[in-house]
Amino acid sequence: MCRYKILHHNEDGYAVKCNECGHIKVCYKTVVLTLDEEMFYEFRDAVEHNYETHRDRICPHQRRIHISTADPSVSMVFCLTDLERLMHMLDEAHMSLEIEKLIS
């Protein structure tokens, strides 16, 4: 059974890490992803890359930014505003993971 440590939590969602299996759950609005640490960093990089690529090109409220998942039949679509908020949440979770590594 998983025992979670909160990495970050805000009004849009949360990121938690299981102390037993090491998986990270990222919940943002209505989407929940369960990722190993490598997949978490890949997802974080994809979000950041997409944000940087699209931030000056599209209207902030148009849902036109697609991000793939590990399952090729499933992708997520975001507006720039949501992507920025998700990126912030993932950055905060990343900092918590790095602090955890330094402490242990």
pLDDT at residue 36, as a whole number: 96
Q: How far apart are CA 65 and CA 22, in angstroms?
A: 29
Q: Note the maximum CA span of the chain.
A: 44
pLDDT at residue 81, as a whole number: 94
At 104, the pLDDT band (50, 70, 90 cuts) reads: confident
Q: How far apart are CA 81 and CA 4, in angstroms?
A: 28
Under a CB-based contact definition with an 8 Å cutoff, are residues 3 and 23 in contact?
no
Determine the 3-state secondary structure of 92 from DSSP. helix
pLDDT at residue 1, as a whole number: 75
Q: How far apart are CA 50 and CA 79, in angstroms?
A: 11
pLDDT at residue 48, as a whole number: 96
Element (H, E) at 81: helix 80-103
pLDDT at residue 70, as a whole number: 83
pTM here is 0.91
Under a CB-based contact definition with an 8 Å cutoff, are residues 12 and 20 in contact?
no
Domain assignments of the chain as residue spans, ordered by start: 4-103
At 2, the pLDDT band (50, 70, 90 cuts) reads: confident
pLDDT at residue 16, as a whole number: 98
**CATH number for domain 4-103, candidates 3.90.1570, 2.60.40, 2.30.31, 3.40.50:** 2.30.31
The pLDDT tens digits for 4-60 are 999 999 999 999 999 999 999 999 999 999 999 999 999 999 999 999 999 888 888
| CB neighbour class for 86 (10 Å; exposed up to 12, middle 13-18, buried from 19) | buried
> What backbone phi and psi angles, to 5 degrees, belong to 14?
-160, 165
